[in-house]
Amino acid sequence: MKITGIKAWQIDLPLKEGRYSWSNGNFVEIFDTTVVAVETDEGVTGYAECCPLGSAYLPAYARGVRSGIREIAPALIGLDPTNLGAINRAMDSALRGHAYVKAPLDIACWDILGKAAGQPLYTLLGGAAQEQIALYRAISQEAPEVMARKIAGYRAEGYTKFQLKVGGDADEDIARIRACRNILEPSDVLVADANTGWTRAEAARVVAAVADLDVYIEQPCPTYEESLSVRRRTARPFVLDEVIEGPQMLARALADDAMDVINLKISKVGGLTKARLMRDMCVASGTLMTIEDTWGGDIVTAAIAHLALSTPAEFCFSATDFNSYGTRDIADGAPKRVDGFMTACDRPGLGVTPMIDGFGDPDICFS
């Protein structure tokens, strides 16, 4: 099988809540996502999606996805999409770094592999390891009482795991964490995600002030070293996200006992090939994972579901159903949340059919 064409479409994904806010005053109101199609000489087409969380969250931005695909696509024409190792080596030869640009191309090739094999991706990623995937709900940064009220609403929809967007004023963040923990049951999970927004001194104040609460602390500071310093000052379970950008960084962090949980975002690490490697490193080392992505719609949610379903429940701390945050459906067959859970579909590959008729002309078209 050979790759004969690569197409990509830019699509806007508005939010049900209107705005998603996190540390340092950052927010997004309409997400800019890119849907990619990889076409083959055997008539099988693979799909994928990549949606950065704005331009100030990671070294990634939506127009960069499309710019990078234009750079890489010519090097993939003629290659066998079912040889994922060769595809990834060809992408690394064509463009150094820029993992997020390579992610949708890698995932679309996995979709082709699944369709060619007649197997859902969760089977090819290790086989079903759990029946349903526990989801968390991210709570946009607002006043403490507003966040607590939103948690109560999402709890009524069936979620039991919540991730607060903190990383603002340290005193207000302490109030946010207290207000939200206060309305939860002991069995509910609460994560305070600072998204690199605290200095070490601010983080030290917050973790000391919430030392009596059952709360996870996530990515307090911008650098790995600052975050490791905070980790060593607190007994709270600790999550690293932004700084774990690939397998080498994960290996270093495991050696340092730098965290209990990582946030494994598929596009951040370059696609399902690298995400599966990191997932297996985490399982082998007893490290929990939130399996998710930076953002996205139906196709991103499907990829998350396949990787999460093939991860044993005891290591799959949570996952994200991004397609329930937006107002626009972009694919048929995507996983849908039931209470606080989702599952992956049994159709071959990702198991989703993008609604291409509604996308308009592609923004990128290589053959």
Interaction between residue 39 and Mg ion (CB under 5 A): no
Question: Residue 319 pairs with which residues in a beta bridge?
Answer: 135, 291
The residue among 213, 152, 311 whose CA lies nearest residue 292 is: 311
Q: Given the complex with Mg ion, which of 45 and 227 has the nearer CB atom?
A: 227
Least spacing, CB of residue 221 vs Mg ion, in Å? 13
* Strand ranges in the chain using DSSP code E only, listed in sequence order: 3-14, 20-21, 27-28, 30-40, 45-50, 133-134, 136-139, 161-165, 189-193, 216-218, 238-240, 261-265, 288-292, 316-319, 331-332, 341-342, 353-354, 364-366
If you ran DSSP here, which 8-state letter would residue 46 be given?
E
Q: Given the complex with Mg ion, which of 15 and 350 has the nearer CB atom?
A: 15
Interaction between residue 293 and Mg ion (CB under 5 A): no
Q: CA–CA separation, 307 vs 272, rounded Å?
A: 8
Q: Given the complex with Mg ion, which of 80 and 260 has the nearer CB atom?
A: 260
> Phi then psi for 226, rounded to 5 degrees?
-60, -45
Least spacing, CB of residue 196 vs Mg ion, in Å? 9
Q: Which residues neighbour 13 within 8 Å (Cβ) at sequence distance 6 or greater? A: 30, 31, 32, 33, 51, 295, 296, 297, 326, 327, 328, 330
Q: How many CB atoms lie under 10 A from the CB of residue 333?
A: 14
Interaction between residue 193 and Mg ion (CB under 5 A): yes
Least spacing, CB of residue 195 vs Mg ion, in Å? 6
Distances (CA, A) of 156 to 5, 15, 162, 212, 219: 46, 20, 12, 26, 28
Least spacing, CB of residue 54 vs Mg ion, in Å? 14
Window 132-171: residues binding Mg ion (CB under 5 A): none
Q: Given the complex with Mg ion, which of 122 and 162 has the nearer CB atom?
A: 162
Window contacting Mg ion (CB under 5 A); options: 54-62, 193-201, 267-275, 296-304: 193-201
Residues 262-281, mask of contacts with Mg ion (x by CB under 5 A): -x------------------
Token code pair at residue 200:
């070490």
Q: Given the complex with Mg ion, which of 160 and 263 has the nearer CB atom?
A: 263
If you ran DSSP here, which 8-state letter would residue 236 be given?
S
Least spacing, CB of residue 106 vs Mg ion, in Å? 22
Residues annotated as part of the active site:
165, 265
Q: Under a CB-based contact definition with an 8 Å cutoff, are residues 162 and 192 in contact?
A: no
Q: Which helix (H) or strand (E) holds 233?
A: none
The site that binds Mg ion (CB under 5 A) totals a number of residues, namely 3
Using CB atoms, what's the residue nearest to Mg ion?
Answer: 241
Window contacting Mg ion (CB under 5 A); options: 1-9, 35-43, 257-265, 296-304: 257-265
Window 210-249: residues binding Mg ion (CB under 5 A): 241
Least spacing, CB of residue 22 vs Mg ion, in Å? 9
Q: Given the complex with Mg ion, which of 39 and 193 has the nearer CB atom?
A: 193
* Interface positions with Mg ion (CB under 5 A): 193, 241, 263
